[in-house]
Structure 1
């Protein structure tokens, strides 16, 4: 049974062409293994293009177009069925013509086939953001998502404390801020510095019966804390045993790093917003220009290492 399964998997992982007679092909039958780089060679007129473009690509593209609705197909180019007895295992295909009128150092398979446009949109709309400093996922927190995340992680009946931080404006001192907070009913201060005052929203126990109260506490703390809230799990001595930070913005509350809303240009090496700070999207750099180029602008979005070329930029310009 195991041998039969391995044979079936090997059979499926290939494009099988039987009886190809397109143009000057003479009843040709062969297999192309998938996930391999295959080169078709031969003298002029031997049928290389007839096999690669007019048979394999044409059939793959034709089947792909047929998956769309009749309304959509009327806007797409239809391709004739090649002269072949049977083709199996063929996926949707992309063909790049041998004569390329676009000759720039930024041209790639992705730009020529416009696949990059779809990938940029996919990453901008569906990707998950991770903090470039601590590596944790960065997402917008809500009272509901915070409580859902705490469920199962915080022991029932634990003593907890919810706080928010109020920054002190330059023309105020902490005492004035504390007085204004007192007028709103906030009289418990956990800590204060010349730059900020940490205010206690509530101290209670973490129990299922308290969920509504905790949700209201988190909502109020986020409102007064400009989207940021701190959740403490207290020990028997009422001192913080564990601290968790949350934010309703694209902001890593732990590292205090803000991130901009993702946009397709952030994932494009052809855009100044997404190009590698070192190679500028060209895939290479000289030692004399590396330093000056990397200091021209702050980083607005966490970028991965440069995969377009040989240079790997692993440190953010904004953190230098």
Structure 2
């Protein structure tokens, strides 16, 4: 007898005819048959009922007071059964968007699980999305693009006049750097501020500019 199988002996619930079954755990099993052949009697009234009954029996006497216990099925024995969840072929919630995840309250748990263990990728370029800090950005540039010219920018939603008062006069517009006074208009929802133009070298200027752009852009440069 294997513990990897659910073993049913002499199931006679409703219209079941004293059947014996060995069902493997951790597999998708489909029960099919004509109407009245005993599909629901096996799935709901036998396997689910026994699984729920044994689970409730493992709880304290006080906890059992708040749970509805099903009648035990007419069966000689069921071995290696696990706690069961049953979803009938009807929607008990009046909502067209109800799913197995919402009905079993697993949606939020899965969302938390995926957020913690998943590896996110950009839907546009399929590149892995990584969490960076200024020192990591500097190290990446020095490793892959030493000696290359770079423009360090950050995006700001502040007004143009406010940015000029803080000493920012250059913006990235039309694939080039221009003076903020040359912008066609001043009511842009956001501006790409050019903080520095430099050659990537292992110098304090690189790390200082990235650090400042990181801070001004609130983590985005």
Structure 1 length normalisation: TM-score?
0.42
Q: How many residues align?
A: 196
Q: Which residue of 2 aligns with 1:312?
A: none
Question: Residue 177 of structure 2 aligns to a residue in which SS?
Answer: strand
* Pick aligned residue for 1:38 from 28, 31, 36: 31
CA contact under 8 A between 1:202 and 1:217: conserved in structure 2?
A: no
CA drift of 1:81 comes to 5.1
CA drift of 1:163 comes to 1.9
Q: Which residue of 2 aligns with 1:95?
A: 86
* Pick aligned residue for 1:200 from 175, 191, 196: 196
Q: Counterparts of 1:224 and 1:72 in 2: how far apart (Å)?
A: 58
Structural mapping, 1:109-258, within 5 Å = 110=100, 114-115=103-104, 117-119=105-107, 122-123=110-111, 126-127=114-115, 130-138=121-129, 141-143=132-134, 146=137, 150=140, 154=143, 158-159=146-147, 163-165=152-154, 167=156, 172=161, 177=164, 180-181=167-168, 191-192=177-178, 194=183, 196-200=192-196, 205-206=201-202, 218-229=210-221
Q: Counterparts of 2:19 and 2:199 in 1: how far apart (Å)?
A: 79
CA drift of 1:141 comes to 3.9
Q: Counterparts of 1:30 and 1:145 in 2: how far apart (Å)?
A: 59
1:253-292 CA-to-partner distances (Å, cap 9, x unmatched) read: xxxxxxxxxxxxxxxxxxxxxxxxxxxxxxxxxxxxxxxx
Classify 1:96/1:146 alpha carbon distance in 2 versus 1 (closer, same or farther; 3 Å). Answer: same
Q: Counterparts of 2:99 and 2:160 in 1: how far apart (Å)?
A: 57
Classify 1:109/1:177 alpha carbon distance in 2 versus 1 (closer, same or farther; 3 Å). Answer: closer
Q: Which moved more, 1:93-102 or 1:52-61?
A: 93-102
Question: Residue 123 of structure 1 aligns to a residue in which SS?
Answer: helix
Question: Residue 29 of structure 2 aligns to a residue in which SS?
Answer: coil
Question: Residue 106 of structure 2 aligns to a residue in which SS?
Answer: helix
Q: Which residue of 2 aligns with 1:56?
A: 47
Q: Please say if 1:19 is aligned against 2:10.
A: yes
Q: Counterparts of 2:155 and 2:45 in 1: how far apart (Å)?
A: 68
CA drift of 1:100 comes to 6.0
CA drift of 1:56 comes to 0.9
Question: Residue 125 of structure 2 aligns to a residue in which SS?
Answer: coil
Unaligned segments of structure 2, at least 5 residues: 170-175, 184-190
Question: Residue 143 of structure 2 aligns to a residue in which SS?
Answer: coil
Structure 2 length normalisation: TM-score?
0.55
